[in-house]
Every structure is written in C-alpha cells, then in structure tokens.
Amino acid sequence: MVDEEPRYGWDMTTIPTSQVQYVTEACDNIEAWDPAVDEAECIDRIRALAIGKSRFEAALARETADLARRRTQAEADQGILKADRGKGLGAEIALARKESPARGAGHLNLARALTTDLPHTFHAMQKGLITEEHAQGIVQETAWLSPKDRREVDVMLVDRFGTLGPRKLRAEARAHAQRLDAAGAVEHFKRAVGNRRVGVRPAPDGMSYLTATLPTQQAVGVYSTLHRDASTMVGTGKTEDRDGQPRTRDQIMADFLVERVTGQQSAAAVPAEVQLVMTPETLCGWDDTPAWLSGHGPIPAPVVRHWLADEAMVAFIRRVFTEPNTGQLVSLESRAREFPSGLRKKFVLRDDICRTPYCEAPIKEFDHIHPVWAGGKTVWENGSGLCAGCNQTKENRGWEHRGNAQFLRITTPTGHHHTVAAPPVLPGRDLDPEPP
C-alpha cells in the first residue's frame, strides 16, 4: 500500500533552524563535560541542571503557546468555525514530545494558562524557581476560576515559589481558589464527583495498578474497611493463603479487594479473558522465553506456568503464526466463523496497545488506515488498533495515516512524519537461535 521504505521515528529534516541547532549544541556541550572534581561539585551540577530543566520546560510552554496561537489564527483566516479550531493540536504536540496524546493535551492547557492568566507562575518557571509539576498543580487547581480570580491567585503565590514542594503549593493554590469563589468551589466539587472512574495500567514485574477516582469519603471508607478486616485477620494469626503461604496485611488487603469486587472465594480464581502469548517451549517448560500479556507486557515463563497450573484456571489455546526472521504476526488460527472478530484479535496481538507512537493507551477501536470512504478495504494490511482519541484525531484536517501490517506512518499538519514498526508478536524471543 505504501511504496517507500519507512524511516522509523521522527523526521526532523523539515526544521533545520538556527534555534534548533543551538539547542542541540547546548545539549552536546553538557554531554562533553569533564568529570566533577568532588562530591560538592556533583551537587552543584545537579542543582544547575535542575534549574536548567525548569527553564527548558518554560521554553517548551512558550513555544507550545506560540504554536497554538499561530494555528488558531491560521484556521480563523481560513474561515473555520471557532469550535473547530485547534483540533488535534494536543496529539500533534504529544508526537513531537514523544508522549501520549493525553499528556500532549495537558501540555497545551498548561502553556495556554501560563501565557495568559498565570504570568508570575510562568516567570518562576523561567527562573528555575519551580518545576513543570509545580506549575501543573497551580493550573489544575485554578482551572475553574474566572481569569480575574486566576490572576489573583497567581499574585498570592509569588512569595511561595521556590519554598514549597509541588503538593503543598498545589494545596495553597486550591485554598486561595476556594476562598475567592466559594460558590464556584461547591459547583466544582459536584462536577468532580461526576468524573469518578476506575482504571487499570501496567506496573513493573507483571503487576498492574488498579486505580479508582472516588469522592474522598468513599475512598477513605473503602481503604479503612479493607485495613480493618485485614488487621483483624493478622491479629488472629490466620494469614495463610490457600497454598499455605503467609501473607502480610497489605497482601491480605489486596486479596480482599479482589475477592469482594469479583465475588470469588479466592483472589486467584477470578475469571477474566486475556491474550497471553508464549512459545510452545515456554508452555511445556522446555524454554524460559517470557510470555507477553497483551496491553501489559512480559511475564516470566515460570510465573505463567504457575498460573496455568492453577486448578481454577480455564485456558483455551490458539496457534499464532509469525514470520521467522522478524517475529511479526502473519496469521492466527481462529475458531470463530465471523471474519471481523478474528481480524480484531490479530490487531490486538500485533499492536498490543494503541498503534500511534508513544500513546500506550488500550486499544478501543479498529481503524482502516486507508479510509473506507476512499476505497480502503477491510483486510489485514489496512488495519490498525487505536484508542478512541487517536482514531478521532486521525480525521482532523492535515492528518494522514499510511502504512500496512509492517508499519504505520503518521503525517501531522506541519508536515512532520512519525513512523512506527510493527513489533515482534513476542518480544524477547530469540528469532535466530543457535542450532541444537
């Protein structure tokens, strides 16, 4: 579908400006530093680099705000409705920064707030007194205020810059905001309750973070109940799991949470369908190539075999066919008769997470690279697994996706290209092993 050889990564050939060269040379000079003469100089360098990092973050915010202003003005000159201006800009910024679209949108909001309503906060970043984390806290805690009240909070915090950590500075910003607009604070709290949600994301060592954003009294109530019941079990000395292994209070709390949410008698017996990829050798115990849990990452081979040995586990085995030299997915044995269902399973196995570079959100939608309305076919070579946000961003003005089963190339409105290759279906496997 695409003839040219893809270049993976970010194509910077369109911006050989003197400013970009200056930044590159400055970074090169830092890398060329001679070793410090003693520990004191190491600390001095760390401090200087931390200040420089804050100043770079301020410069990033300035350039981001300038980009937003230019894009908005250009689209206004084209007669585009105000509500439609700047769509996809956060995702475009995210690609340039090698971050997720959600983070890109956050950087865009930060830049706009700092350069319009929070000049003192912005100046503190430029001087290295506060970090981007400090500034993000102030922006978020004042987002619901009027511009006038927001600027007043900005003034009230001037003497606190450089003396407080991000959490404390954020709390003081919230206190000032609530005092300036008590009625608005109540409405803001009510809207926040409407944003309660539960999420899951990968954690190190084959674990995951299960997070719940709840009203404070509910969150504290859940935690206190788990802590109380686990402490009672520890007090009775009955801490063993069903395998006879002793458990700490924290481990018991985690098991209680799983058992009570799912209704299972044992945390290990929770029913769930997951895509777990492994070699036949790993399954049979002849090899220790890690398995791969779609959307979460590698799992040690012995751990996977322990999972499968659980008498409560029900497993269905499906053969996956890969290209010998690259490990990329070629085909998938399917028990289903409905072709689109099998195709979606292939996309999940190949892409693992949203295919957009740096996004890392779970796959929610299955997109035609070449749109159906333009003649694109519903075939393996023309599909991508994307999150809902990236699928919507693709439809904005100036965006283009091109590619096939081996790679995806995204072109943004500024003409920059971001290309990602399809990874091996089982990363970490030796694709060219030595003969026995």
CB atoms within 10 A of CB 132: 20
pLDDT of residue 338: 34
pLDDT of residue 113: 97
pLDDT of residue 206: 77
CB 337, CB 390: distance < 8 Å: no
Q: Which of 271, 275, 421 is nearest to 346 (CA)?
A: 275
Q: What are phi and psi of 356, to 5 degrees?
A: -60, 135
CB 122, CB 92: distance < 8 Å: no
Name the one residue in this structure whose structure tokens are 């908005």.
72
pLDDT of residue 166: 94
CB atoms within 10 A of CB 24: 11
Q: Which of 17, 21, 23, 118 is nearest to 65 (CA)?
A: 118
Q: Which of 357, 270, 344 is nearest to 313 (CA)?
A: 270
* 52 HSE (CA, 13 A, CB side): 10
How would you write 197-239 as a 3-class SS string? Answer: EEEEEECCCCCEEEEEECCHHHHHHHHHHHHHHHHHHHHHCCC
Which tokens in the block code for residue 99?
A: 């971050």
pLDDT tens-place values along the chain, 436 residues long: 444 555 566 554 454 567 888 888 888 888 889 999 999 999 999 999 999 999 999 999 999 999 999 999 999 999 999 999 999 999 999 999 999 999 999 999 999 999 999 999 999 999 999 999 999 999 999 999 999 999 999 999 999 999 999 999 999 999 999 999 988 888 888 888 899 999 988 888 878 899 999 988 788 889 999 999 999 989 888 888 877 889 999 999 999 998 898 887 655 555 555 567 777 777 777 777 777 776 666 777 777 777 676 666 556 666 666 666 666 665 554 443 333 677 888 888 889 899 999 998 989 889 999 888 888 888 888 999 999 999 999 999 999 999 999 999 999 999 999 999 988 877 766 655 554 4
Which tokens in the block code for residue 372?
A: 């159906």
What are the sequence ranges of the domains in the chain? 35-195, 198-269, 276-317, 329-421
pLDDT of residue 296: 65
CB 118, CB 151: distance < 8 Å: yes
pLDDT of residue 335: 42
pLDDT of residue 317: 62
Q: Which of 334, 363, 361, 369 is nearest to 348 (CA)?
A: 363
CB 350, CB 329: distance < 8 Å: yes
pLDDT of residue 305: 77
pLDDT of residue 428: 67
pTM of the model: 0.74
CA distance 1 to 405: 10
Element (H, E) at 408: strand 407-411
From residue 245, alpha-carbon distances to 10, 248, 252, 277, 384 in Å are 50, 10, 12, 29, 44
CB 414, CB 307: distance < 8 Å: no
